[in-house]
Chain A
């Protein structure tokens, strides 16, 4: 792909402002507590009433970790006390049952994701138990095309455990690697053996997982372009189907774990830029397709094919190829998306348990989308997933004149067009290969809520 031929360092520096990742629009910052369990139930009811209800995606949040990785910004609980985690499962069982009752029993689950924390903090029996509870309360698809995935911390599994995960129904794994350099691993408190990790990826394939995805992070302390290239070279020897290369956002004022990181060791902006440039060059050189944001996939992977066909979707895990689903989030802080609403569970484990104890859905907050929100969500999704916005698609569905309705937004895209990120025409916006690297900066122009937070202080850096 041509994005690598001349890496637009200047533009990335110029647009290197903060911005949301748009795994949802409106973003979670807009969620409010006025949206309660009753509102959630109402939206679920509407969704059941659809003539052809959407299939379901389930997300299960398992927040426990043995050790703290210093870069982590997730909602997790670090503990050696397995009783806490055991107790958590009892409440999770109850939430699964409550949620299962809300949805009509003929709605198939075509997508399932266990995220964390560290889902593999739990042992084989416990993970099997969760899948069984899900299966008892939801209609899990038996089709081979279902996407049942689990995040794996290679330090917590062996070949036998991987085979067990395949046996209980998972067909995709996502392996957390971050970086193989021992100095970097030490600086972030995540020591994991390179050889073992690579062997596990091979083992996952042998166990029948049809997709292996790998997570890396650039921008970690002590990383250099050279050291990170070594990590990538090593990962490429096992050719994962997908790679997510996330940018580390150092926000110690927001995330306590990050205060353990020596700020002076965090790479300077120009080093980050080199890291990003060499990552993209290396991966595309090795035949991977750049999907957008942080994601790369082999050309024969469904993500790459969906990108070509224009059927890509954006979701909380990044990108997906599934048809549009309603997402049911279970576990502490889990986010769901049902019909025209978002919902998020209580983020404190004790609060979450207390609500369930009282027989209540553990809803913390959420959002019911307005017509304007839905329109803008559609435009932002077209930018992030298709790299192309056809005005006519929105004019029919939303009864607007696009040029008129978005006059200000289109005007604000002019300088972005001059920089070669987009091509504007009378009836469309086209993202250029350069623009693909800066999708957020383009999408932000259509975010109605950024007006109140123009610097986007609460967001991570675009690159």
Chain B
């Protein structure tokens, strides 16, 4: 498969990115570095041009060179199963890192596509590992982020009901939006109900049915793709997991 990355370089030039000025400074990889470390880190970051909804930053099978930190917007990662069906693996919000699954085989396993107008900071993985050898705080941060990924995946592998899965996704998103300075109680989702269904391994109509049930119970209010959480405590109870 031809790769978008080869045709259109997303991480084309090394403009000096000011991580020290970035609003995601508290969430992103350099967050534990001191001023000198951040300055050093800034030299290995490539900032991309705006990425339009529907554009891919990685394709399954692409040679692994870089990981990407979401700067703005939202991405989904997915694979195509042997029946040709799309299986959504996850969603990425600003400050989150995409591409760790490619480390061990040096090949990207998933397709990663923008759901909104987005942008990412590209990080050559070689440079990151090299810098991590010199800066143990960066290494710790890399382990922490990877561990968080694994924990999320393990939690979602549990045998949960549809209600629990959906409540838990809403809790997780609410928490993630809040830590990015957005409202924890009201947010616009970039993903379609089909994406959510695929990600939670539920039928598309189940998503709407369960959300409608939550809505009539007064727990949430839904308007098109906007969700307002009216009863966060009740939602947490429904989610029955501690990621909330």
Contacts and interface: CB of A to CB of B under 8 A. Distances in A.
A344 interface: no
Given A50-B193, A51-B196, 16 more contacts: A49-B192, A49-B193, A49-B194, A50-B224, A51-B207, A51-B211, A51-B224, A51-B225, A51-B227, A52-B193, A52-B211, A52-B215, A52-B222, A104-B204, A104-B205, A106-B208
Nearest to B207: A51
Contacts of B192: 48-49
Contacts of A53: 193, 208
Interface residues of B, number: 16
B79 interface: no
Nearest to A104: B204
Contacts of A49: 192-194, 225
23 contacts: A48-B193, A49-B192, A49-B225, A50-B193, A50-B224, A51-B189, A51-B193, A51-B196, A51-B207, A51-B208, A51-B211, A51-B222, A51-B224, A51-B225, A51-B227, A52-B193, A52-B208, A52-B215, A52-B222, A53-B193, A106-B204, A106-B208, A339-B224
Contacts of B211: 51-52
B148 to A, nearest CB: 26
Interface of B: 189, 192-194, 196, 204-205, 207-208, 211-212, 215, 222, 224-225, 227
A49 B205 CA distance: 11
Q: How large is the interface on A (under 10, 10 to 19, 20 to 34, 35 or more residues)?
A: under 10
A45 to B, nearest CB: 8
Contacts of B207: 51
Q: Which of A48, A49, A104, A106 has the most CB of B within 10 A?
A: A49
A339 B207 CA distance: 19
Nearest to A49: B192
Contacts of B227: 51
B35 to A, nearest CB: 38
Interface string A18-58: 00000000000000000000000000000011111100000
A110 to B, nearest CB: 14
Interface in A322-355: 339
Contacts of B204: 104, 106
Contacts of A51: 189, 193, 196, 207-208, 211, 222, 224-225, 227
B205 A106 contact: yes
A106 B212 CA distance: 13
B190 to A, nearest CB: 10
Nearest to B206: A106
A42 to B, nearest CB: 11
A50 B192 CA distance: 6
B230 to A, nearest CB: 15
A52 B212 contact: yes
Contacts of B196: 51
Contacts of B222: 51-52
Interface string A47-85: 011111100000000000000000000000000000000
Nearest to A139: B205
A104 B194 CA distance: 10
A256 B205 CA distance: 49
A148 to B, nearest CB: 23
A50 B212 CA distance: 12
A52 B225 CA distance: 8
